Structure 1
């Protein structure tokens, strides 16, 4: 008589030793996917190429990559590769806001596993018992086989990748390939999202939502160094809030922050489609391009409604039109000088506010 004991250990961390102990064919497939994933600087194109490559490996009709945000209840189609479109048109027509109601059922359906594979009608019937809503959706779009992997990074699910109507005879190879490939895709998505957040933090003023001084300086440098061609028409506007210190002193900094936000909204509304920057403190800069002089002056007339007022948002402003010499630093200096001249006129009208 003999005995056999089978034990296993559950861990949330990836075991690099086990993950690297894979068949040669799988290793080759994963390596090819990673080359496509990291071969270019265009994140979207790299993802599209990788998803198309995975679909070809699986000999499938479709491969999709979906981004999720469970904190906000949102999902977004990042990439799709298919041979034959479904009976209801592009997959983008399916993945709308309502599709999140199905997506949020997937973690429970997958359960303790790290993937879900449906290879035949028997598997489909099991899914029907566990998740009838998702089953009905798959049947509606005539999907017969499916493999779904979550894209996990740390303790967060960044999204899902799924393949439908794949080569069932190669199910083991497909599982092994996706199991390891999704590991690299998850890290690529996490890194991309981190870089985008850092870009936003480095270029967007977090209080007002307009671009910040760093973004403005980069834009100016692009013009000066010639990496950005001058537009046919360029106007520079400097706008400074009057009375911000008075609001801060009398009503508190929360009221002052609200005034700055309202000022930014007004400038964004007047100069819709153009570049609005918070240069610092209560100062804003606007670069207006592609307008005729008449069109630009219409916007200036709208801006004048917010000057020399004793309540709400009140601007002192100056502007300069590029004279064809293409010297944006001169244009900014001139607009700044004119803005301060306008501010002096304001203080002549309200001398009691000069030091407030």
Structure 2
């Protein structure tokens, strides 16, 4: 603890020294900043304005492209683009965005122009070449309807069944772009320029000058620039920079910034008079006040950091304490959960509370491929019922087998499962699962024996550390369940036949009178000739006969109420069955065994015992019937049959 406190003190000292150095550096920087603040602020503001304008222009152009693509999709539905409806749409098109009209180039190099008429453009346009270009924005060219008018086109292919059937051309008038874009920068005092980099021609010039070429810029009037290269070359190469012009006809300088446009092969430039960008002359005076405020802010930040750091450390400490307490409670619940399985659900509920999950499960893989799933589901009336099918929990077991029983799954978004296991994804999504996590549970040898997981965790759950903290307790639970089942089976199950043994039989005799049933049939079975078979063929043959008899009894009467109560004696109880059906099943058992050259004598009794005496009387009656059948068997030559 002392080491941690010393570390914390050193950290505070270093932070304080850092604050002092920062304040000293800020004071020095402020002195220099006073001299350059106005000019740097000008460039920064200009570039920010230019970037915003750049984005706005790109957004408007993309909007027009999307509109044209929608129209192309509509036109693609027509087998013939000469259809009257298509011609009507083109001729009646109202300007939208930058597009003032529509044209369609057909495969035979016929152009449907804006008024709905058609004209041949053979030699001027090539449909095949245009189709290969896809969607694009052309350079400025001559209007096909008016050779004195400049236009550019937003081109979108019309595709039907994977084949280009036409080229939709949206007509854009460059002279109207400034009105469409509705540019109003620096209170309408800024001028905007769009330059075509390949030629240097102005596409847009809002200064009112006649459109020309950037090559005619007077570099002698530039008093400051970001590059020593000629400004015209910078613009045509798509560079980013600034320049300050000395305007002979004005009392103030002109600030000019340029940058590549986000669309087409264009360069964007903005010019603003000095008074528009340097209006905040009070910055120099207020900067000193800001310096003082900055120093105060640094101390406030320092205090806030101290407070925040203390809160973080206390929070982390509290989380560790909660995790330790949580782990201890889970371990305590699972310690005797092999005898009281309600504790397993209580432990899963604790995990659900810690992770704010809707569903928590623990799946155990048994020795012989048997599986057991324990689950807890949050009872929340405000949310839909979530129940993950047990067969889907099987996915996690396969996942960890693939991962060699290591690692973990943390999917705050179930969409990640779509690639790993699409079938499980579809079913889990259908059941309302939105997130999941799981960890493998291994035994002491490292073998995968189970999976512990949750679904629909809360937003504060960032990883699987809570599950990792308790998976050892669930590993011990698996070990305890396995050991407990082995011990229990040794005390209640006959090791040779797998049926319940005599100890279990005598214990359960007390329970049958208290069970809910209308009638109880007792089937008492004795194997004939076991002693002779042991003497003639050995005890291994006798054991095989007993196992075959037990298997046949289990197949007809199940193993819940079937017992081996002596060396060659078996008893089976059948609930709510009539005498006729029990007799038929008993006869079927005898015939099936006789086919294997095994012979049994069976006695049956039926009744409704209310106490132990009546229960014993029921068994005694069946035993008497069995002995009578056994007597008849031997009188009819049964002994000779067994000797064969």
Q: Secondary structure at the match of 2:524?
A: strand
Q: Is the 8 A contact 2:411 2:435 kept in 1?
A: yes
Query: In the alignment, is residue 266 of structure 1 matched against residue 552 of structure 2?
Result: yes
TM-score by length of 1: 0.69
Instruction: Tell me if the contact between 1:102 and 1:133 (Cα under 8 Å) persists in the aligned partners.
Output: no
CA gap of 1:47–1:120, structure 2 versus 1, over 3 A, is closer
Q: Distance in 2 between matches of 1:240 and 1:198?
A: 28
Cα displacement string for residues 259-301 of structure 1 (whole angstroms, at most 9, x for unaligned residues) = 2222123323443587221112111112233123333343344
> Residues 49 and 230 (structure 1 numbering): CA distance in 2 closer, same or farther, change over 3 Å?
closer
How far did 1:44 drift?
4.3
Structure 2 residue aligned with 1:77 = 373
Number of matched pairs: 315
Distance 1:273 1:246, change over 3 A: closer
Change (3 A) 1:268 1:354: same
Shift of 1:166: 3.8
Match of 1:316 in 2: 601
In the other structure, the counterpart of 1:45 is 342
Instruction: Specify the SS of the correspondent of 2:365.
Output: strand
The answer for unaligned runs of 5 or more in structure 2 is 1-318
SS at match of 1:337: helix
- Equivalents in 2 of 1:30, 1:55: separation in Å? 13
Q: Report the counterpart of residue 634 of structure 2 in structure 1.
A: 347
TM-score (norm 2): 0.41
- CA-to-aligned-CA distance 1:142-169 (integer Å, 9 cap, x gap): 7887654332342244312134554565
Q: Structure 1's 54 and 302: CA in aligned 2 closer, same or farther, altered over 3 A? A: same
Counterpart position of 2:273:
none
Distance 1:325 1:60 in 2: 49
Where does residue 331 of structure 1 map in the other structure?
A: 618
1:337–1:254 CA distance, 2 compared to 1 (3 A): same
Given the alignment of the two structures, is residue 206 of structure 1 paired with residue 491 of structure 2, yes or no? Answer: no
In 2: Cα distance, 1:291 partner to 1:61 partner: 44
Whether the 8 Å CA contact 1:347–1:354 is kept in 2: the answer is: no
Q: Alpha carbons of 1:325 and 1:53: their partners in 2 closer, same or farther (altered >3 Å)?
A: closer
Kept in 2, the 8 Å contact 1:270–1:303? The answer is: yes
Structure 2 distance, partners of 1:198, 1:54, is 30
1:92 to 377, 386, 390: 390
Q: Please give the root-mean-square deviation of Cα atoms over the aligned residues, in Å.
A: 4.2
Change (3 A) 1:92 1:237: closer
Considering Cα pairs closer than 8 Å and 6+ residues apart, tell me whether 1 or 2 has the greater RCO.
1
What is the SS of the residue equivalent to 1:208? coil
- Equivalent residues in 2 for 1:155-170 (5 A)? 155=445, 156-164=447-455, 166-167=457-458, 169=460
Counterpart of 1:235? Answer: 521
SS at match of 1:104: helix
Q: Residues 106, 163 of structure 1: CA spacing in aligned structure 2 closer, same or farther, 3 A cutoff?
A: farther
Unaligned runs of 5+ residues in structure 1 are 1-21, 111-115
- Pick one of 570, 580, 592 that aligns with 1:284: 570
